[in-house]
Structure 1
Amino acid sequence: MNLFADIRTLVLESLTTMVAEGALPGGLDFANVTVEPPRDAAHGDMATNAAMVLAKPAGMKPRDIAEALAGRLAQDPRLTSAEVAGPGFLNLRLAPSLWQGVVGQVLQAGTDFGRSEMGRGRRVNVEYVSANPTGPLHVGHTRGAVFGDALASLLDFAGHDVTREYYINDGGAQVDVLARSVYLRYLEALGREVAFEDGTYPGDYLIPVGEAVARDKGDAWVDQPESVWLEELRDLSTDAMMGLIREDLAALGVKMDVFFSEKSLYGTGLIEAAIEDLRGKDLIYRGVLEPPKGKTPEDWEPREQTLFRSTAHGDDVDRPIMKSDGGWTYFAPDIAYHFNKVSRGFDALIDVFGADHGGYVKRMKAAVSALSDGRVPLDIKLTQLVRLFKNGAPFKMSKRAGNFVTLRDVVDRVGPDVTRFVMLTRKNDAPLDFDFDKVLEQSRENPVFYVQYAHARVMSVLRRAAEAGIVADEATLAGADLELLDHEAELAVAKKLAEWPRLVETAARSNEPHRVAFYLYELAGDFHALWNRGNDVPALRFIQEGEVAASQAKMALARAVSVVISAGLGILGVTPAQEMR
């Protein structure tokens, strides 16, 4: 089902034969031999780097290898030509029947076309969002939520066993601040005058929480010290905020498999167990760190600390895990949390962090490497900021949260589908501009509309076929005479469809779901180009009057486009449009 993989297998078989016949020396590693679309479509359908990567280890000129390989590949009936270019590039052209056959494969497999066994059931934990439970999710969290959710879906589509996880940061001082803020709203609900000071959270979202406490407790906590109400109110407030966050995630179509509480690490021996594991590997010691960058001996007081020898696993400096008062640093519970992940038997871990966590990457990777003895890789993806615009100018909406724009503000204005797709139109580590007018614009410059319009156009063709009495159900289209798809514009669409399985594996291998959005935009572009050419070339129109077989073949191609778009949008968490309004 992956035509690029099939042709790569043909190349590798030909190289193996060349070794057996003495045309190439033995012991060559073919792992880096690729078959992929050429940068310029005019050069061919596919290109292989075989001669270029094997020349040095083989002690031969790349062009000599390429010419010998081309001679063998040209004998295969699936290829119409194998041409050597430049110093040793090898461009391949495939028989039209292969591209036509892709259309049939898509229709037979449905939205499972492109699914891969690349992951082979490897267990992967994707942790994302993990916002502090102190209020609703803001627009920055939105990008991390969409990216993490799409990445999890992509990995699942590529054969991995994926767990979606949210880490609740409910063990730190910020939760005490939340409780104090709710206490102020509680007093306010009872008619008291209050002032939000000392970093407390002034957002209106805490008003209903304070009112609920007032109904439940009456005036029992009025004028009482924190020792009376803080612990209970901390738990109550955290639960309320997590309920709010779950509602935000649901509005965006995000569902988590696991919500893991940081608080559960304290007083349970889990932090101590993780540190003892590292101590047993001689990675915990007492020592003095060098002054941080920008500090001088005059303004830096060296002191002995309990340190994790993270430099042994690739970090720049060793890291403190215990404060001078004997309490854990913020890094210690994070070590314990990842120790828990490793202990749960995951084969790979992925953390999706905000841009402000860049300095945290090396230490966390070092910790996971140490805890798993290098067995479990950790990939940390940073999501850059989202800048909001309206009519090309910076835009600020009402801030129910007190000091930021919420996820719900965005979703309520443009809907979850638009929000999700737009958040994936840039690579995660690049800033993203979100213009509320442009994302709803009906033009090619709006990728959301452009892709959805392609899907809706296919649906309109199928409706018109039904009105014309042409049978166009899935089984009929799958059995259509696809040899009738012989125009270059039709084959161009089929060639783009053939790239989908390869794209899935490439995107999953690099943990980059934005590649799916980019591909869908390109596929939509090829389809729209074919549609528009039909305005000038009647033979390219999808419904051919009086020609049922030709109509069914062309509709098979259109339906295959909608199937792949639907599969890709499914990975992104977007519902395909049936019609445009």
Structure 2
Amino acid sequence: MNLFSDIRALVIDALTQMEQAGELPAGLDTAAVTVEPPRDAAHGDMATNAAMVLAKPAGKKPRDIADTLAARLAADPRITAAEVAGPGFLNLRIDPAQWQSVIRAALTQGAAYGRSNLGQGVKVNVEFVSANPTGPMHVGHTRGAVFGDALSSLLDFAGYDVTREYYINDGGAQVDVLARSAFERYREANGLEPAIREGLYPGDYLIPVGQALKDKYGDSLLDQSEDVWLTDIREFATQAMMEVIRQDLALLNVHMDVFSSEKALYGTGRIEAAIDRLRDAGLIYEGVLEPPKGKTPEDWEPREQTLFRSTSHGDDVDRPVKKSDGAWTYFAPDIAYHWDKIDRGFDQLIDVFGADHGGYVKRMTAAVKALSNGRVPLDVKLIQLVKLFKNGEPFKMSKRAGTFVTLRDVVEQAGADVTRFHMLTRKNDAALDFDFDKVLEQSKDNPVWYVQYASARVNSVLGRASEMGVDTSDAALAGADLTLLDHAAELELARKVAEWPRTVEIAARANEPHRIAFFLYDIASDLHSLWNRGNDETSLRFVQDGNFAATAAKIALVRSVGVVISAGLGILGVTPAKEMR
């Protein structure tokens, strides 16, 4: 049940009737017509912009449209008042029975309440994390992993067919550096002093890899030249690091559906096929680029390269796909990888990149548009940096990692649930501070604790009502006399429950899971507020001693909030708290 969607359908139907009656011209586009909560709750329960957005194409004054529309809407029993305000805003007051029916729907549908068919089974590929397999994941990867996983869950909840994918960047020079670094740890495992020279990975995390190499090869590689061992150790070390990454992801309860390898694209003809597809479209040519920003003609040596005409699809400059020496650029396998995703039948692609990949957005978007003839949209989400604090000071680097704070460091200190929720308390493109003290404190200022406290309160209230003898099963509560919920504060909380399906669809359309975290904080705040009012107004207390009917109705309201919080936390990948400790 989506009450906001139902009322919007009522508005559209009324507009259709106005067209048929000649009160509006036929054929108006109503796609931009919305029904949403008003900015000021005193103005009503819902508001529609119909008159404002249709005035210009209809050739009428907004207020004239609003007056006629208000009269038609007021005739529906679900609308108790339709009031025109200002130049043509239309505020609606909804019959309390509608809010009460939302509570019943939440209890009846349970975990399915708020689920949507918005996605209609559209196949979406969400690629996220995709960290180089050269070491454990750091805190920046943590935020990207949480965001990508929560976004995937959100889209699934909204009716999309979602695939979580990790692109293993194992085709570049960095894996050779990994192999050389692992070889030094192999030497160390054989009793020699490792030469961790500049440019190699210094972290202790490669010590177990070195020992595993000794277990496999003994000392047989010590006197061999690099060309003998590089390929084998590169493969061995990459697999070992990917196992570490899988374990790190599991700490966050993140599980990928697909792991794709960049290396697997080389030597298979896939890169060539993708570039040929662009060539056939007239988008590949041999040319010379202008000097990059900051370079002058005097210090820039122009070289002819194979270029992708990405400016034809919205990029700022054309991009090289093959160097002057005939080697592929980093961009070429990425083009082939996205072509592979298109070829696998995905209808939408979402890439979750770190903030340092901002310059990659336009070129990759252009490539996907060209490869799919504009059929498959690509949405690139950039994840801004995370700053860590503890005891008021920046959190120091991990000795084990050598150069950065790892995902494991964060999860071991804060816990997976706290980490996941807090990583979603800001929009992905906004910087985020992660203060270990603040994310664990018990206060309203800590959204993680505040929402979990609401979840625990719901559970506590259900327990108290059950002890009183009230049947607190969802089926029984759905049959309660919900007309007893007639106080403005109770109806206000029911309105918030009604907003849940709408919030899911808005968040899914924008690919913004942080909206779910924000909503959970708001509904938790409303629940706590009603609880606190009950301290002064006994009629608002959730458990009414001796009055089973009133208690059942109030518990039904509380439980409906619990249904929403549980669903929302499920999308975020957080386990609802049953009690606070």
Given that 2:397 and 2:403 are in contact with CA atoms closer than 8 Å, whether structure 1 keeps it comes out as no
Q: Bigger shift: 461-470 or 529-538?
A: 461-470
Residue deviations 1:292-346, cap 9 Å, x none?
Answer: 1222111111121110010111101000000111110000000000000000010
The answer to whether 1:77 aligns with 2:77 is yes
SS in 2 for 1:15: helix
Structure 1 residue 27: Cα displacement: 1.9
Per the alignment, residue 200 of structure 2 pairs with 200
Per the alignment, residue 213 of structure 2 pairs with 213
Could you tell me which amino acid in structure 2 is paired with residue 182 of structure 1? Answer: A
In structure 2, what is the Cα distance between the partners aligned to 1:399 and 1:493? Answer: 49
In structure 1, what is the Cα distance between the partners aligned to 2:470 and 2:47? Answer: 40
SS in 2 for 1:200: coil
Residue deviations 1:395-449, cap 9 Å, x none?
Answer: 2153310000000000011110000000000000000000000000000000000
Structure 2 vs 1, CA of residues 63 and 449 (structure 1 numbering), >3 Å: closer, same or farther? same
Structure 2 vs 1, CA of residues 58 and 331 (structure 1 numbering), >3 Å: closer, same or farther? same
Structure 1 residue 224: Cα displacement: 1.3
Could you tell me which amino acid in structure 1 is paired with residue 321 of structure 2? Answer: I
In structure 1, what is the Cα distance between the partners aligned to 2:552 and 2:409? Answer: 45
Q: Bigger shift: 221-230 or 144-153?
A: 221-230
Alignment of 1:469-488 (within 5 A): 469-488=469-488
Moved beyond 4 Å, runs of 4+: none
Structure 1 gap ranges (5+): none
Per the alignment, residue 396 of structure 1 pairs with 396
Per the alignment, residue 297 of structure 1 pairs with 297
In structure 2, what is the Cα distance between the partners aligned to 1:392 and 1:111? Answer: 40
Structure 2 gap ranges (5+): none
Could you tell me which amino acid in structure 1 is paired with residue 281 of structure 2? Answer: K
SS in 2 for 1:222: coil
Given that 1:144 and 1:354 are in contact with CA atoms closer than 8 Å, whether structure 2 keeps it comes out as yes
SS in 1 for 2:90: strand
Alignment of 1:397-476 (within 5 A): 397-476=397-476
Per the alignment, residue 54 of structure 2 pairs with 54
The answer to whether 1:348 aligns with 2:348 is yes
In structure 2, what is the Cα distance between the partners aligned to 1:286 and 1:220? Answer: 48
Residue deviations 1:52-78, cap 9 Å, x none?
Answer: 000101111101111111111111110
In structure 2, what is the Cα distance between the partners aligned to 1:478 and 1:230? Answer: 66
In structure 2, what is the Cα distance between the partners aligned to 1:411 and 1:151? Answer: 20
Residue deviations 1:363-421, cap 9 Å, x none?
Answer: 00000000000000000000000000113332215331000000000001111000000
Per the alignment, residue 566 of structure 1 pairs with 566
Per the alignment, residue 257 of structure 2 pairs with 257
Per the alignment, residue 23 of structure 2 pairs with 23
SS in 1 for 2:322: coil
Per the alignment, residue 329 of structure 1 pairs with 329
The answer to whether 1:119 aligns with 2:116 is no
Per the alignment, residue 520 of structure 1 pairs with 520
Given that 2:45 and 2:92 are in contact with CA atoms closer than 8 Å, whether structure 1 keeps it comes out as yes
Q: Bigger shift: 299-308 or 553-562?
A: 299-308
Per the alignment, residue 137 of structure 1 pairs with 137
Q: Bigger shift: 26-35 or 327-336?
A: 26-35
SS in 1 for 2:167: strand
Could you tell me which amino acid in structure 1 is paired with residue 579 of structure 2? Answer: E
SS in 2 for 1:434: strand
In structure 1, what is the Cα distance between the partners aligned to 2:282 and 2:215? Answer: 55
Q: Bigger shift: 545-554 or 390-399?
A: 390-399
The answer to whether 1:10 aligns with 2:36 is no
- TM-score w.r.t. the length of structure 1 is 0.99
Given that 1:496 and 1:523 are in contact with CA atoms closer than 8 Å, whether structure 2 keeps it comes out as yes
Q: Bigger shift: 397-406 or 221-230?
A: 397-406
SS in 1 for 2:335: helix
Per the alignment, residue 185 of structure 2 pairs with 185
The answer to whether 1:285 aligns with 2:285 is yes
Residue deviations 1:33-62, cap 9 Å, x none?
Answer: 110011111111000000000010111110
The answer to whether 1:551 aligns with 2:559 is no
In structure 1, what is the Cα distance between the partners aligned to 2:163 and 2:437? Answer: 36
Per the alignment, residue 173 of structure 2 pairs with 173
Alignment of 1:218-233 (within 5 A): 218-233=218-233
Structure 1 residue 472: Cα displacement: 1.3
Residue deviations 1:433-477, cap 9 Å, x none?
Answer: 000000000000000000000010010011112222222112111
SS in 2 for 1:379: strand
Give me the identity figure in percent: 73
SS in 1 for 2:518: helix
SS in 2 for 1:444: coil
In structure 1, what is the Cα distance between the partners aligned to 2:158 and 2:399? Answer: 40
Given that 1:399 and 1:406 are in contact with CA atoms closer than 8 Å, whether structure 2 keeps it comes out as no
In structure 2, what is the Cα distance between the partners aligned to 1:452 and 1:538? Answer: 25
In structure 2, what is the Cα distance between the partners aligned to 1:268 and 1:52? Answer: 57
In structure 2, what is the Cα distance between the partners aligned to 1:332 and 1:304? Answer: 16
In structure 1, what is the Cα distance between the partners aligned to 2:5 and 2:474? Answer: 26
Could you tell me which amino acid in structure 2 is paired with residue 311 of structure 1? Answer: T
Structure 1 residue 496: Cα displacement: 0.4
Per the alignment, residue 310 of structure 2 pairs with 310
The answer to whether 1:269 aligns with 2:274 is no
Residue deviations 1:160-180, cap 9 Å, x none?
Answer: 000000000000000000000
Structure 1 residue 278: Cα displacement: 0.6
How much is the aligned-residue C-alpha RMSD, in angstroms?
0.7
Given that 1:135 and 1:241 are in contact with CA atoms closer than 8 Å, whether structure 2 keeps it comes out as yes
Given that 2:38 and 2:45 are in contact with CA atoms closer than 8 Å, whether structure 1 keeps it comes out as yes
Residue deviations 1:231-280, cap 9 Å, x none?
Answer: 00000000000000000000000000000000100000100110111111
Structure 1 residue 133: Cα displacement: 0.1
Per the alignment, residue 379 of structure 2 pairs with 379
SS in 2 for 1:291: coil
Per the alignment, residue 360 of structure 2 pairs with 360
SS in 1 for 2:81: strand
In structure 2, what is the Cα distance between the partners aligned to 1:518 and 1:135? Answer: 33
SS in 2 for 1:87: coil
Structure 2 vs 1, CA of residues 398 and 306 (structure 1 numbering), >3 Å: closer, same or farther? closer
Could you tell me which amino acid in structure 2 is paired with residue 326 of structure 1? Answer: G
Alignment of 1:534-549 (within 5 A): 534-549=534-549
